[in-house]
Structures are given as C-alpha cells and as structure tokens.
Chain A
C-alpha cells in the first residue's frame, strides 16, 4: 500500500518529465504533396536529445520548457532550426539544398590538432592521420607524429619500441579508453596487439599528465580511443599485403540491436610466413608470425537519462617464430642445432565502462571503469626460456562536479589495482621463478580553474597505498597562459612512481649471450627499489598567418629527473646488470615543431628534436645507448579537392633523420666483435598514395624505407649464436630494406 502512495506522488513529476513533442518532416515539392522524409535528424540545439524520423517522416521527441530551438537536418537538404515555444505538433517541409544558391563554408579539419585552450600539452591524432601510414597496428601509428619516436628493439623479434621525451615506453602510461592497457607483461609487444583500424583517435599528453589514471606515468600519457559500435561503419573491410608477403585482414561489423544497444564485432588477422635474409647473416630479418585478434563491444546509450555504458571482450592469440633460417622448431627447439626463438602469447580481456551525466545538471557526472586481463607469454630465445603470466584487475570511479560555478571544476575518485606476476626464467646463470603480487588502493582529487580567456590551471594530487611501493603522494600540476591571440604558454610538473618489470621490459636481453645480474637484494621488486621521477616542462605554441595561410610553431622543453631508477646497464658486453641508481639519471628534451598549410590541401609538418639523456652507470656517466642526440622530421601531405561521391587523391611522405647514436661499450669483446663508439647517421623515407573512389571504397599503395637503407650487420657473432659474444641488441636502423605494400578499404556506413 505504502509503495502505491509513493508511486502516486511521483506521478505528476514523471508526467511532466515525459512531456513530448511530435511532428512530421516532409520533403518540399512543387505540388505541396505530403512526402515524408525518413531518417531525418531531429534534435534540440545544444543538447544530446534527438531522434531520427521513421519511414513516414514522423517523430516524437521529449520536450522541456527550456528547449527552444529544434534542429531538423537531412543530408542533401537545408538544415532548419525552429523556435518552439509550446510543444504543439510540428509539420515541417525541408528544402533540398540544390534549390538554393547556398555556398557552404568549408573549414578543413586538421588531422592532428594541438589545443590552444587546455592546460595540458595534448596532441589529438584523428583516424585520418592514422591512415597516412596505412600499417597496421598501434606501434606503427606514430610514424607521422614528431612527438613519438619509433625504433626497433632488437634484431630478432622485429618489435618496435616507442619513445617520448627520450624515454622508452615503460615510462609512458599507455591506455585504451583511459584504462591503462599496455603495461606489465604486455609492455614489450602490446602495441602490436591493437590493430590500427580499431583506433578512432589518439591523445598524446606530454609531461606529467593527469592523476586520474594512476601514478605510473613519467614521460607522458598516450590514450587510444577505440571505434564505437554506434558511430563506426556498419561494415568495414580492410585488406593489406606487403612485398615481404605480410598479409592482414580487418573486418568490423556493427549492428544496432535496439534504440539503446549497439554491438560491434572486430576481427583482425595477420600473418607472415616467408623467410627473408637480405643481409645474408643466416638470421631472419623479420619474424614469421600469425595473429588472431577479436573484440566484441556492446554499447548502451540513453541520452535522455544520461547513461552511457560499454562492455568489451577481447581475445588475442599471437605466435612468432624467428632465428636462423634453418631453424625448425620441431627438431631444434632448445637445442644447439640451430638458434631459434618462438614467442606465443595469449591474452584475454574484459572491460566495462559506465558513465552517467545528470541531464538536469550538465556538470555532474559519474564514471566507473573496470578491467580484467589475463596475459600469458611462453617463449624461448635460443637456450633461454622466458615465460610470464600476468593477471590484472583495474577499477576506477570518477566523480565530476564544480565548486560554486563552472569555472571551478573538480574531479575526484578512487581506484584499485591488482597485479599478479608469475615469471619463469631459465637463462644461463639465472634459473629461477619470480612471483609477486602487487595491489594498490588510491584516491585522487583534481581541480581545474578556467577563467574563460587567458588562463587555466589543472592541479591534481593522488594518495596511494601500494603493498610494494608503500604509501605515497603523487602531485601533478599544469597551467596555461595566453597573453595574446593564438598563443599558449604552458608549464607543468609532476611525479611518477612505478615498479620496473625488468625482464619483460628488456626481453631483448634473452637474445644475447650475456650473463644476467641483479646487483641489489634489499628491494621489494626483484630485490630492486621502485622507480621515482619528476618531470618538468614548458611549452610555447603560437599560431600565425604566413602568406595568408595558417601556420603554427611550438617550442617544447621537458626535463625528467630520476630520484631512483632501475638502471639497465649494457656497458659490459658479457653481462647485463640491473641496479638501483646511484647518482643522477635524467632525460632532457627540446623540440621545435613547425606546421604550415602552404596551399589548399597541402600540409607541411617539420620538427627538430634534441635529446640529452644520461645516466650514472657503475662505470661512469654516459649517454643512454642507442638514443640519438638530434632528430629531424618532416611530413608532407597533399589532398586533392573532393569530387563527386567523395572521390579524391591523397599523397603523403615522411622523412626521418637521426644523428649518430652511442653503442653500449663492447671493449670487453675480442677485437673482431668490437663495435665503434657510435653508429652512423640514419635517414629514412616513407611514402603513400591513396586513391579514394567514393566514400565506400579506397585503395592505397605505399613504400617504407624507400631509399633502402639497411644496417649491414645487426647481429654480433651471427655465425656462432651459441658463442660468448652473440648479441642482437645493437640495432640502430632498419634491418630489412625497402618494403612496398598495397591495401584496400571498403565500408558501408
């Protein structure tokens, strides 16, 4: 009985909130016939409340007194905005655009955008930009971006490693939709487990970043937004083939289940089964591999109530084989017949995201993210065995609101992480199992102030309790000041702390004859202490007009100072040593970037980068090995005007130049296995042409490393891989020469 009274009391409110407006959208015609327009968009201006007309052009839409402007739009018709004062039935004729002498104002969207307004130094990379280098997974997506450097990790696995501000990827927080994803066991190969076509956009934050996603980031943060079932193409097919006989297939299928649910199935497969040995050292230049990668996403949206939710399932199976040409895993595995390696990875992931935005109070929102992943890698490199299992749980709840008014925003929340590592190593002098559990509970608070014009500030702090890292505070602050038009001065500082997974992050060490030593024993992680670093940065962005066309220039200076670092010491060519930093370790980077839209459709992007990355090793202070001091980058892009059905040509070329890099010392080796102190300089050129036939179909053709630059002898003692000086880690440039590829994309919207 009581319940009924409650319901009755609620009734008038519900009836009020369900107030709706209905009407019909018709196609304007000479005879004033009632021809309904199906599929027209009808929405309230500046809200997310909208609908699509049915087959007869009818629609019903919720109505509130504050909604005044109703927008009706349809492709090929003029968009109309109606002022609604009372929710009476609407009958509206839309005019086809070809009846009007309308000139649409075109503003070409840039594919890589730097914000003038945000406090953080964020670069947004759209999916259009990712198409410029059509290959193939996230690790290859940064080729056209000067803020991220891509190089090869070793001469065996063909793994690409990314660097930011001169620091390798373990120091970058790499997240998928704000859930830290490439960490722990997936650190080494994880970037190649996210297919390029799944990526909707990438946000690169230089420097400290936000406290919301954890305490681990030091050099910066990279967030990848994945395509959404509600906005991605109904069907998308991408085929890619390269002259190396690498094949890739991507298929996306997205379906609308009902008004609120959308689902998408994304399947990626790649394989490479051809053996190449261009440099005649008896070793494969790139591994043989095959990968199956499947993702299923479910999206729930209820814009009226303000709910958005995602549920994702992912499964990956990746197999690599590499080593000597004659290596046959069936007969030669873990023998000295031939040197070979196999890396098998299986990964399962389930993640959910729940968001609520109060439709009444636009500044109030709540988000909850959870993710579970299970990652298993079984591998051997010659006689060295390395297996790792990593189970991880992540949960984060964020509440957004304001203090007094919308210029003072706050974000606060709590997070929990759990990681279990189980590693098995059997490598020469080291035969042991390492098992550890890490868990942490944390709370964060971030305040943003925006005075709407010249200045804004984001200051965040988090407090975490971690079973191995202790209880600690992570502060991070960003500020922006724009004293004059199109300018942005930025400054930031912040702290990061992490446990180094020494083996998985440095897996290339297994493809050497080096003896593995951990020189400390007092710490909690392999006997080592956690890594702690402070990052400071300043940046100046200025937009201007050059000969009447848009241009901008950016100066960045970032400094990372390690309070403690797990030093990875390659300086004795017979050993690899891990120890806690005793002294200084720092990475200073300076970048100047110039972008210019020289004429319609033509964009130029150039950058110069200077790195000063040094560490105090036991043998003295040296430049970090294989880190060039100077880098030049240039990217030219040209797109022809869009013709009928979206047809056009796109041309893109990227040039990279690296100054000489320091080799880790080889003076302990016999003279025939000694390397010079520094590498030669490296210059590479990539190019791609895309022919868009229509919005549905396009083909592309491209070349990587067109000038055919090769590092002649990437492997030391390649003819005796079980000898004392075998080493595949001295890689400074491409091993495989030039490579050509072609592909196609087909989509149904």
Chain B
C-alpha cells in the first residue's frame, strides 16, 4: 500500500511537472542592435508569467523562461510581433514595425550594413 502511495505521489509530481513553473523555450527573432535587444526583452518581460528573456544580437536567438500556468510561447510571440520584431515564421505588422527606432530598421539593407563591424 505504502509503495503504491509513493508511486502515486511521484506520478503526481511528474504530472504537475507538465505545468512547468520554469518552462524554457527559444525562438528566432529578427533585430539588429542593443536597442532592439532591450525592446525585445522588455516586450517579453512585460508579458505576465515571463521570468527571464535574453536575446542575442549575434545569433538572433531569444531564450525564455516562463511560467506555463500563466503564459505560453504563442502569447509571447505575439508580444514580440507587437513590439515590431519579426519572428522566424511570422512577420510583424507594418504598423508595429513602423514604431521601431529609425536606427533599428532591421529589414532595411542600409541599416544592416551600418551595423556590420567595420573593416569587413
């Protein structure tokens, strides 16, 4: 009996695990500079349930840790899009993109060239 109880307890443990308080996810987000980084991370962190967000200027990878009971990647993705940044499979609306600072127009070739390290 005891054993069954223990197993049952352990299983409930695994079940609640599915609703992870610290779920991890990563997605590709387009952007170009440190200002973009702050904008993207802020958009994520302003979503209720997101605990940790870090976006890499080099790899364009956005790493997230969030509470699965409160939010999910779809919601966070929409926040990023609303902030004007494209994600891998979806583009931000033109209105949202229009809001990003002129120097952060990551879709613009001239802006991309500007941010290339010198000497290349």
Contacts and interface: CB of A to CB of B under 8 A. Distances in A.
A: contact size bracket = 20 to 34
A51 B101 CA distance: 40
Contacts of B61: 45-46, 68-69
B51 A105 contact: no
Contact of B56 (A46, A407, A453): A46
Q: Determine chain B's interface SS by DSSP, over half rule.
A: mixed
A599 interface: no
Contact of A5 (B3, B38, B51, B63): B3
B19 interface: no
Contacts, number: 60
Contacts of A407: 45
Interface stretch (A288-296, A356-364, A551-559): A356-364
Interface string B16-56: 00000010111000000000001001100100001111101
B120 A5 contact: no
Contact of B45 (A81, A105, A405): A405
B38 A452 contact: yes
B51 A66 contact: no
B18 to A, nearest CB: 14
A404 B51 contact: yes
Given A66-B26, A66-B63, A103-B120, A2 B3 contact: yes
Interface residues of B, number: 27
A576 interface: no
A195 to B, nearest CB: 39
Which of A9, A105, A360, A405 has the largest number of chain B CB atoms within 10 A?
Answer: A405
Interface string A85-107: 00000000000000000010100
Interface in B33-91: 38, 41-42, 45, 50-54, 56, 59, 61, 63, 65
B52 A363 contact: yes
B10 interface: yes
Nearest to A12: B14
A404 B54 CA distance: 15
A363 B7 contact: no
Interface string A361-374: 11100000000000
Contacts of B118: 105
A452 B22 contact: no
A5 B2 CA distance: 12
Contacts of A81: 59
16 contacts: A5-B3, A9-B7, A45-B56, A45-B59, A45-B61, A68-B26, A68-B61, A69-B61, A81-B59, A105-B117, A105-B119, A360-B24, A362-B52, A362-B65, A363-B52, A407-B45
Given A103-B119, A103-B120, 18 more contacts: A2-B3, A2-B6, A9-B7, A45-B56, A45-B61, A46-B54, A46-B56, A46-B63, A66-B24, A105-B119, A361-B22, A363-B51, A402-B51, A405-B45, A405-B52, A406-B52, A407-B45, A452-B45
Interface of A: 2, 5-6, 9, 45-46, 66, 68-69, 81, 103, 105, 360-363, 402, 404-407, 451-453
- The 5 residue pairs across chains A and B that have the minimum distance between CB atoms: A105-B117, A452-B38, A405-B45, A406-B52, A103-B119
